[in-house]
Structure 1
């Protein structure tokens, strides 16, 4: 366990869990509760986004943090021609296998950004595994592509840059990792204390990962999959209704919440959904307002 893990997650133990031959998922585990919670991070980050939440959750639940395939310290395989090894179906199955190897058959699921997209596919493919789900700052990928407008394309330009054929995005996005990470994170955060929310050691850890060309390639493959094979899977499942309890949160000052009606959007696909905008918050909801998110998670789980 490295220094930053010890600083922010002192009670957690680390494992690298093999989910298929040659693919290992960086996993942190803590807590003694009867029920388990799996937390999935977003782009361009790692399990570190949960540093203001995870330890408190572990007081009452068994908490599992992972780096998604291709991110953080998890394996970063070369993308296949059809991007299928970075499909959300495969990335979701990674997480199911992690939980199974930990002896956990049912669990609560929490995801932000890319992690929420993996969570969406996970509850479509493995609903029997999920007790409840919380997704932050997204609508279904299919809807966001179909309803893209100039504002979204301008502010979420990386969605359309990453999907270009390799090695175009890898070459440019990987050329200055320090600049990319700082600009990406600090520009999308809108709460009052940005420096407090992204301390230097956390930024440096995100920069460390993004400095690895394999990570930039893997992230590009994640987005390429979202624009190809994931849309094929999502189109097939458009008529599926999510019946498990679902909570959706979004940043009141964020791009997604300002363009779309998040709650009404999810009500088209879920029969038991609630949610609200997190005030004084942009895109990085768990990092910008961890205490609000923590309370929302705990309140939601108590009500189910």
Structure 2
């Protein structure tokens, strides 16, 4: 284990789980909170939030999802099952069990929110409370795709292309793609310092990471939709808080709370004055919402 350079007071470790090694940062004592990052970030996206949760009396676990950061990037298959949200959720159950936690609360941003959605469906006994950040359900977003969404979220349709096309194109200049992607989603200038971007880029320059990220999106456009269709009548039973950026694409195009009311039995929603990168743009406001929601009896 080593001290985290980005999450003050945290140690970074690697868990040897069945079939995969997952890197994670952890600190604190008290009730456990699992923080799941999105694309194109790593667990470092929580650097402004996680230490405050520890100060408030929580144990905080912030992993790199499979395929991202320093976690393993396993081989995929023709239906992209190893990068399905079901398998990615299994990683988190195994990680939390290894750490001795049978029940915990979850905060998922972007791709991590989609993993958290599947986690709450497949393991309802494990998830006490759930917060999803700046997403509507995957099935809903694909079903309601129109020209505006396809234009503003072009990577949903670019990254799923077959035969290594996006891998080749991103790999020709990963820094350009990464910086443009982040800049397009952040609405509060200066929220993502260059040190963090360079850390994200360290991972993004790895061809295996680029391929794994494409596989994550390919799974969402295929096997994940199949799993969602099979669970069309299932509902998340854990209390769910949906938070979105008032200046984000999701906030502009969807009634976010209403989309989650179709998927869960107990839903509240709130918008914050930011873009997509909520943990980096408005960490004070987000921390306050997390602490309030997770302290509710």
- TM bucket, shorter chain: over 0.9
Report Cα offsets for 1:167-206 as digits up to 9, x if no partner: 1110002211111111111111112xx22x1111101011
TM-score, length basis structure 2: 0.97
Report Cα offsets for 1:42-87 as digits up to 9, x if no partner: 0011001101100010121110000000001100112211100000
Offset of residue 13 of structure 1? 1.7
User: Which runs of 5 or more structure 1 residues have no equivalent in the other structure?
Assistant: none
Contact 2:33 2:104 in 1 (8 A): yes
Bigger mean CA deviation after superposition, 211-220 or 160-169: 160-169
Matched positions, count = 296
Contact 2:109 2:133 in 1 (8 A): yes
Structure-to-structure mapping, 1:212-231, within 5 angstroms: 212-231=206-225
What does residue 68 of structure 1 align with?
A: 65
Match status 1:103 vs 2:100 = yes
Match status 1:269 vs 2:277 = no
Offset of residue 166 of structure 1? 2.8
Q: 1:283 aligns with which of 269, 273, 276?
A: 276
Bigger mean CA deviation after superposition, 233-242 or 83-92: 233-242
Structure-to-structure mapping, 1:102-141, within 5 angstroms: 102-141=99-138
What does residue 9 of structure 1 align with?
A: 7
Offset of residue 2 of structure 1? 6.8
Distance 1:190 1:89 in 2: 32
Q: What SS does structure 2 have at the residue aligned with 1:127?
A: coil
What does residue 166 of structure 2 align with?
A: 169
Q: 2:46 aligns with which of 50, 55, 61?
A: 50
Contact 2:81 2:223 in 1 (8 A): yes
What does residue 232 of structure 1 align with?
A: 226
What does residue 296 of structure 2 align with?
A: 303
Report Cα offsets for 1:100-140 as digits up to 9, x if no partner: 00011100000000000000000000010011000011111
Bigger mean CA deviation after superposition, 212-221 or 281-290: 281-290
User: Which runs of 5 or more structure 2 residues have no equivalent in the other structure?
Assistant: none
What does residue 18 of structure 1 align with?
A: 16
- RMSD across aligned positions (CA): 1.1
Report Cα offsets for 1:123-169 as digits up to 9, x if no partner: 00001001100001111101100100111100110000111113111
Distance 1:10 1:265 in 2: 36
Bigger mean CA deviation after superposition, 291-300 or 236-245: 236-245
What does residue 238 of structure 2 align with?
A: 244
Distance 1:166 1:121 in 2: 27
Q: What SS does structure 1 have at the residue aligned with 2:125?
A: helix
TM-score, length basis structure 1: 0.95
